[in-house]
């Protein structure tokens, strides 16, 4: 298995720039997310800001199939769309959840982050889903300490989610991030404590719980990108890029 890359203090200083832009985009979009706005509007705002900061949208043109590269700067996933929703003409409606995922490359390093937002007033179940998913990320981040193992993060996320009666998506995982958007190690949102690769100081991870209100099963749309819940129940997604240190996690996308 390829080894996770360890970042030097100089690397981290550069990486903090891309992560700062990610965090600022997510905060900026929070102000604009409301009924009547299109996902394409959000994408344009995000790309303009990323480029104004001398960054590049990491997702635009990303993909393994050259005939179907991702066409936008953000992923915008609504309700039963888990991740990788393609922005366009869809108009946000009151009561929906939208999950926005943002990646930025600047000076050779990547930052990656995501947030789920309520559009107007949402149901109590959707609000609980948002709250539980955000809290599960916090629980996972707390285990990103040198000497722990990757599945300590996974188990912390899983136990918090399942105790609330929700489920973690199993077909998609978090990941290392740095000079590439996706690096080793994979960071699942389920697992057994004390297993998986050892976390080392200088690792940078994108920890990203994807949580469904119903079953953990998902399917991929005919567009080849959009992942949605198999049962049509809503989903939420939160993600931070974090630096592993011996003294605990340092969140970079904040």
The domain of 42 spans: 9-251
Specify the pLDDT at position 1: 56
Is 80 exceeded by the pLDDT of residue 2? no
Q: Please provide the size of the chain in residues.
A: 254
Is 70 exceeded by the pLDDT of residue 15? yes
Helix (H) or strand (E) holding 133: helix 124-141
Give the rounded percent of residues in the chain with a pLDDT score beyond 90.
98
Specify the pLDDT at position 129: 98
- Identify any residues that bridge with 239 across adjacent strands, giving them in sequence order: 114
Radius of gyration of the chain (CA): 17
Domain total in the chain: 1
Structure-block tokens of residue 141: 């981040």
Question: For the segment 85-128, what is each residue's pLDDT rounded down to a tens digit?
Answer: 999 999 999 999 999 999 999 999 999 999 999 999 999 999 99
- The answer to whether residue 156 is domain-embedded is yes
- The answer to whether residue 151 is domain-embedded is yes
pTM to 2 decimal places: 0.97
CATH code, 29: 3.90.230.10
């Amino acid at each position: 298995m390829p080894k996770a890359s360890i970042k030097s203090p100089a690397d981290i200083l550069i990486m903090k720039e891309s992560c700062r832009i990610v965090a600022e985009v997510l905060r900026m979009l929070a102000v604009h997310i409301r009924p009547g706005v299109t996902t394409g509007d959000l994408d344009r705002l995000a790309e303009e800001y990323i480029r104004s900061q001398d960054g590049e949208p990491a997702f635009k043109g990303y993909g393994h199939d050259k005939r179907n590269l991702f066409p936008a700067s953000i992923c915008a996933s609504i309700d039963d769309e888990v991740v990788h929703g393609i922005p366009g003409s869809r108009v946000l409606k009151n009561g929906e959840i939208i999950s926005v995922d943002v990646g930025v490359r600047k000076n050779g390093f990547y930052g990656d982050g995501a947030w789920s937002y309520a559009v107007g007033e949402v149901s109590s179940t959707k609000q609980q889903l948002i709250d539980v998913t955000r809290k599960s990320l916090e629980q996972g981040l707390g285990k990103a300490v040198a000497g722990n193992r990757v599945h300590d993060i996974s188990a912390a996320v899983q136990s918090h989610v399942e105790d609330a009666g929700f489920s973690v998506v199993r077909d998609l995982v978090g990941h290392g991030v740095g000079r590439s958007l996706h690096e080793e190690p994979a960071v699942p949102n389920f697992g057994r404590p004390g297993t998986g690769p050892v976390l080392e100081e200088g690792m940078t991870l994108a920890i990203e719980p994807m949580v469904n209100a119903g079953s953990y099963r998902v399917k991929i749309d005919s567009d080849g990108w959009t992942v949605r819940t198999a049962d049509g129940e809503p989903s939420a997604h939160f993600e931070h890029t974090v630096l592993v240190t011996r003294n605990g996690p340092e969140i970079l996308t904040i």
